[in-house]
Amino acid sequence: MAGVIENDLNEDTYIGLELPLDVSSEGIFKRTKTALQQAKSNIKNLLLTNKGERLGNPTFGTNLLSLAFSQENTDLESRVEEEIRGAMSEFLPFINIVSIETKFSDLNINRAIVNIRFTLDVDLTSEENLELDLSTYTGALALDPHDLPLSGG
Q: Residue 148 has what pLDDT? A: 42
**CATH number of the domain that residue 20 is part of:** 3.10.450.40
Would residue 35 count as lying in a domain? yes
Would residue 73 count as lying in a domain? yes
Q: Residue 9 has what pLDDT? A: 57
Q: Residue 31 has what pLDDT? A: 79
How many domains, in total, are found in the chain?
A: 1
Dump the DSSP string for 70-109: -S--TTHHHHHHHHHHHHHHHH-TTEEEEEEEEEE-SS-T
Domain that holds residue 28: 4-137
Would residue 147 count as lying in a domain? no
Average pLDDT over residues 2-14: 60
Q: Is the pTM of this model over 0.85?
A: no
What is the band of 146 on the pLDDT scale with cuts at 50, 70, 90? very low
Would residue 149 count as lying in a domain? no
Beta carbons of 54 and 46 less than 8 angstroms apart: no
What is the band of 139 on the pLDDT scale with cuts at 50, 70, 90? very low
Would residue 146 count as lying in a domain? no
Would residue 77 count as lying in a domain? yes
Instruction: Report whether pLDDT(2) > 70.
Output: no
Q: Residue 5 has what pLDDT? A: 56
First to last CA, the chain: 55
Average pLDDT over residues 125-145: 69
CB within 8 Å of 54: residues ≥ 6 apart = 60, 61
Would residue 142 count as lying in a domain? no
